[in-house]
Amino acid sequence: MKQIEQWVRPNIRQLKPYSSARNEFSGEASVWLDANESPFNEPYNRYPDPLQTTLKKRLAQQRGVRSEQIFLGVGSDEAIDLLYRIFCEPGKNNVVSIAPTYGMYKVCADINGVEYREVPLNDDFSLDVEALLAAADANSRLLFLCSPNNPTGNAFPADEIERLVIAFDGIVVVDEAYIDFSAHPSWIRRLDEFPNLVVLQTFSKAWGSAGVRLGMAFASPMIIGYYNKVKYPYNISAPVQRYALGMLDRVDDVYRWVDEILSVRSRFIEQLATLPVVGKIYPTDANFVLVRVDNAGALYARLVAEGIVVRNRSTVTLCGECLRITIGTADEMERLLEAMRRYTQNKK
Ligand SMILES: *Cc1c(COP(=O)(O)O)cnc(C)c1O
């Protein structure tokens, strides 16, 4: 049995969190004079529910977990940063991660003064499980696995992730920002088996809501308890909580959007494969595709000149001459393909 509490920083274990007016009284009342709010400008005059009770209840039903297993943050970025602040003593603890992967894990490590140990994926972007375990030591607290991985697009096999969750003596974070596009099941189904597992999801991708900034961490009630202790008291605004409740009534729309993106993706990949400028198209479980091309810098610049922006990942580990292309509408992908065809012709 893993001792999660022993990995929590002593100052956080002992922390007495800020107690807000809405924490101290959250029952029914008709006269609210406890929080120095204005009586005017309904509904914006009131502080939001600090623990987002109604939203978490709905989300729990929808995802098949319990409310006490959910933390809501200002994007996944808040959920990532708080893990450092809960578990990593600056200058002492370290975290282990794969490379290439999502850039925020390292930025948060740098901000928090925590050593970041990168273990390259194999050339085919598969996990090197042994190397990840070998990179860890007694001071390792977090292991980041992004699956499906950004920017490579592939999801990692369940048996390999399970092996890491069991063998790693610390918190294993599985970032599932792209899970809705993948045939792989979510790790949130396994939370009760693994007390050291944290699963991240977000409203920013399949849910079409990057603008509102809402991310989710799913974990044991103990870990969620520490999240709640450390977060800003009113981190999720009332309009965002209301908005998200509305989105949860629109799951059918979200499923339709995902279906549409997946079918545009497969037609786009077929077309892409016919272009001479394209060297390799990596398999993808996400709403983007990583593509190795003839001269990524030149093609990128040419696309920008035509008003089309993709992501140049050429300088990233194992991604030399690679562009990462997000799947947009069928029209947008057709415009991109036409620009790539023109580029090939002009080069001849
Ligand atoms: C896009 C993305 C996120 C989402 O971050 P938000 O802060 O929720 O917008 C998280 N993780 C990965 C790997 C991503 O690519």
Residue whose entry in the numeric block shows the structure tokens 């050291």 = 196
Q: Is 199 helix (H, G, I), strand (E, B) or coil?
A: strand
Whole-angstrom CA distances from 27 to 30, 33, 234, 236, 238 are 10, 14, 17, 20, 17
Higher pLDDT, 227 or 25: 227
**DSSP per residue, 89-120:** -TTT-EEEEEES--THHHHHHHHHT-EEEEEE
| Closest protein CA for atom 12 of ligand 1 | 177
Q: How far is the CA of 208 from the centre of ligand 1 (A)?
A: 12
Q: Is 228 helix (H, G, I), strand (E, B) or coil?
A: helix
d(CA 116, CA 110): 8
| Closest protein CA for atom 11 of ligand 1 | 177
- State the amino acid at position 176 in one-letter form: E
Q: How far is the CA of 209 from the centre of ligand 1 (A)?
A: 11
Per-residue model confidence (pLDDT) at position 348: 55
Per-residue model confidence (pLDDT) at position 23: 83
| Closest protein CA for atom 13 of ligand 1 | 102
d(CA 336, CA 342): 10
CB neighbourhood size of 93 (10 A): 21
pLDDT band at 344 (very low <50, low <70, confident <90, very high): confident
| Closest protein CA for atom 2 of ligand 1 | 177
Give tens-digit pLDDT for 185-213. Answer: 999 999 999 999 999 999 999 999 999 99
Tell me the average pLDDT across 339-346. 89
Q: How far is the CA of 65 from the centre of ligand 1 (A)?
A: 21
Query: What does the mean pLDDT of the chain come to?
Result: 96
Tell me the average pLDDT across 23-31. 87
Shortest CA distance to 171 belongs to which of 189, 144, 190? 144
Share of the chain above pLDDT 90, in %: 95
Residue whose entry in the numeric block shows the structure tokens 């040419």 = 302
Mean pLDDT lowest among 19-28, 113-122, 142-151: 19-28
pLDDT band at 1 (very low <50, low <70, confident <90, very high): low
Please give the helix or strand (H or E) that residue 201 lies within, else none: strand 197-202
Decide: 198 and 6 in contact? Cβ < 8 Å.
no
Q: How far is the CA of 21 from the centre of ligand 1 (A)?
A: 32
Residue 30: what are its φ and ψ, rounded to 5°?
Answer: -115, -15
Q: How far is the CA of 145 from the centre of ligand 1 (A)?
A: 13
Tell me the average pLDDT across 210-220. 98
pLDDT band at 21 (very low <50, low <70, confident <90, very high): confident
Tell me the average pLDDT across 135-163. 98
Per-residue model confidence (pLDDT) at position 55: 98
Q: How far is the CA of 149 from the centre of ligand 1 (A)?
A: 11
| Pocket mutation for ligand 1, best pick of 106, 145, 200, 202 (most atoms within 8 Å of C-beta) | 202
Contacts for 304 with CB less than 8 Å, ≥ 6 apart? none
Per-residue model confidence (pLDDT) at position 345: 80
Q: Is the CB of 175 under 6 A from ligand 1?
A: yes
Q: How far is the CA of 290 from the centre of ligand 1 (A)?
A: 17
Give tens-digit pLDDT for 266-316. Answer: 999 999 999 999 999 999 999 999 999 999 999 999 999 999 999 999 999
pTM of the model as a whole: 0.97
Tell me the average pLDDT across 236-251. 98
Q: Is the CB of 76 under 6 A from ligand 1?
A: yes
| Closest protein CA for atom 7 of ligand 1 | 75
Task: Report the nearest atom of ligand 1 relative to the CA of 74.
Answer: 7
Shortest CA distance to 218 belongs to which of 8, 103, 68, 101? 68
Residue 124 has pLDDT above 60, yes or no: yes
CB neighbourhood size of 305 (10 A): 10
- CA 96, 102, 108: angle at the middle one, nearest 5? 65
Q: Is the CB of 77 under 6 A from ligand 1?
A: yes
Tell me the average pLDDT across 248-269. 98
Q: Is the CB of 204 under 6 A from ligand 1?
A: yes
| Closest protein CA for atom 14 of ligand 1 | 177
Q: How far is the CA of 342 from the centre of ligand 1 (A)?
A: 33
d(CA 195, CA 222): 9
Shortest CA distance to 148 belongs to which of 69, 265, 54? 265
d(CA 56, CA 245): 9
